[in-house]
Amino acid sequence: MRSTAGVYGTWACRWNCERDRLATGYHPAVTPEFDVVVVGCGPAGNTAAYRLASAGVRVLMLEKEALPRHKVCGGGLSAKALREAPFSLSPVLERQVGAAFIAYDGAHPVRCERSGIGAMTQRAVLDGFMAQKAVAAGAVLREHEAFESFEPRGGLIEVRTSSGAVTARVLVGADGVYSRVRKQLFPRATPQLVPAIEALLWPAPGMLDLLGDACIFDLGVIPAGYGWVFPKRDHLNIGLYRFFKRPDNLNMRGLLETFVAHYRILRGYERIAVKALFIPVRPVARRLTSRGVVLVGDAAGVGDALYGEGIYFAIRSGNLAADTIIASLDRKGALGSYDGAMRGLRFDLAAARLAARLFYTSPRLGFRFGVRNRLVSNLFMGMISGTVSPPRALAAMIGLAPYWLLATPTQPVASPIFD
């Protein structure tokens, strides 16, 4: 009879070999039904699926709902997100953005202008469009099919869904903030989530035209956060983002109502639909890939803590995951190198978190000495456009503190948007 130690050693050896084969991109003799299964059809999953399918990889996309479906999201696309997208997003852009009014509690607005800084879309339309591009590139899309679990088997992954099971070499978890893929892969990983509340608001006649190509950011309508107004084709997307939790900002629904009352273009609206959401602002774990599984987008916890932007980081992580998976399938790299590829993104997100901690400690001072200082506001506009990295903006803001603390503040502008 074999000893317990001998049996344990045999199984340990098998496990280590299996782990090594997955890490180095080993491919078993058995042919799976798909090379890659992507769970979730948001910007991250769609980007990865499109890139992989375009490279000849056999891709299955799983979406638990039917596309298009509503997603709670501001729908703002920064210039860097538009550049990072693997194809043109112009067919689903509703407005180009060339300016922003930044105010404090509905007053003292400063107008910042930068041509081509971003554009507006609706997430339901964006996600549906990107999924269609992935399908056109060769990916297989299964709607109304939910991910349930996965199981590594002999160098492959068995993916169980609400309709059965499929096998693949790699599984991509792109299933959002409450990712079921992540919960199985890293059961103890807890994402750092920041709350927000969003409303789709159809304003009174003529109010939408007052904004033109501008959006609004207000730093005083919610303590330790900001409010936004994004113009779409026929309505406004408005909301509140809260970085720090404080006794005076717990009632976000009430603060949203106060926000609406502050602005002429919001008062007297025809109808409104309110939704709550959470935005991840820190990667969920030190590793974002393990056992043949890769996490991207909100499932990975990648989001900007200063602005609450998620779409750029979702697309970027989808591109990095696709690059890594293609190299792994071609036996030119290891799947685990995805974590190395994500280091730059992690560094940017860490700088954004530090900037958020400094800024949202006192948005009043941030508005007075930051927003109303042209040099500092240009740095943060550069972060949105992608011409200035978060670490560079943070370093410049700290290093130039004597200048922007003493500089004459930018004067507010007059606009019919503000009473």
Are both 201 and 218 inside the same structural domain? yes
Q: Are residues 174 and 245 in the same domain?
A: no
In this prediction, residue 70 carries a pLDDT of: 86
Say if residues 64 and 146 touch (Cβ distance below 8 Å). Answer: yes
Is 15 within a domain?
yes
Which of the residues in the chain have pLDDT under 70? 1-30
Nearest residue to 130 (alpha-carbon basis) of 178, 170, 95, 93: 93
Helices (H), ranges, 281-408? 297-300, 311-329, 337-341, 343-359, 363-366, 374-385, 390-399, 401-406
Q: At what angle do helices 43-54 and 123-136 cross, to 10 degrees?
A: 10
Final residue of a domain: which of 341, 361, 385? Answer: 341
| Burial grade of 247 (CB within 10 A; 0-12, 13-18, 19 or more) | exposed
Residues 180 and 204 placed together within one structural domain of the fold: no
HEC sequence for 21-52: HHHCCCCCCCCCCCCEEEECCCHHHHHHHHHH
> Can you give the pLDDT at residue 370?
81
| pLDDT for residue 6 | 39
Is 300 found in the same domain as 207? no
359 within a domain of the structure (yes/no): no
pLDDT of residue 298: 97
Nearest to 276 by CA among 350, 146, 177: 177
Q: Verify that 157 and 18 share a domain, yes or no.
A: yes
- At residue 237, φ and ψ (nearest 5 deg) are -105, 120
Residue type at position 393: A
If asked whether residues 274 and 140 sit together in one domain, one would say no
Q: Could you tell me the two tokens for 165?
A: 């099971």
Residue 384 lies inside a defined structural domain of this protein: no
Total domains present in the chain: 2
Q: Does one domain contain both 203 and 331?
A: no
Backbone angles phi, psi at 32, to 5 degrees: -75, 170
Q: What is the pLDDT of residue 395?
A: 86
Crossing angle between the packed helical segments 311-329 and 343-359, to the nearest 10 degrees: 160
| Same domain assignment for residues 253 and 288 | no
Do 136 and 276 share a domain, yes or no? no
**410 domain-assigned:** no
Indicate whether 255 and 275 sit together in one domain. Answer: yes
Residue 409 within any structural domain of the chain: no
Q: 170-205: per-residue pLDDT in tens?
A: 999 999 999 999 999 999 998 899 999 999 999 999
Helix (H, G, I), strand (E, B) or coil at 242: strand
Together in a domain, 174 and 289: yes
Residue 102: CB partners within 8 Å, gap ≥ 6? 109, 110, 112, 216, 217, 218, 219, 367, 371, 377
Joined together, the tokens standing for residue 3 give 């000893």
If you search the block for the tokens 């059965």, which residue do you land on?
A: 164
> Three-state DSSP class for 354?
helix
Q: Is the peptide bond before 68 cis (omega within 30 degrees of 0)?
A: yes
pLDDT reported for residue 30 = 64
Query: Where in the sequence is the domain holding 270, given as residue range(s)?
Result: 91-120+192-280
Kindly report the CATH number assigned to the domain that includes residue 128: 3.50.50.60
Say if residue 211 is in the same domain as residue 306.
no
Q: Does residue 350 sit within a domain?
A: no
Domain boundary among 325, 341, 357: 341
Whether residue 46 lies inside any domain: the answer is: yes
pLDDT, residue 242, reads: 97
Any idea what the CATH number is for the domain that residue 228 is in? 3.30.9.10
| Domain end (from 341, 360, 387) | 341
pLDDT digits (tens, 9 = 90+) for 229-253: 999 999 999 999 999 999 999 999 9
Would residue 411 count as lying in a domain? no
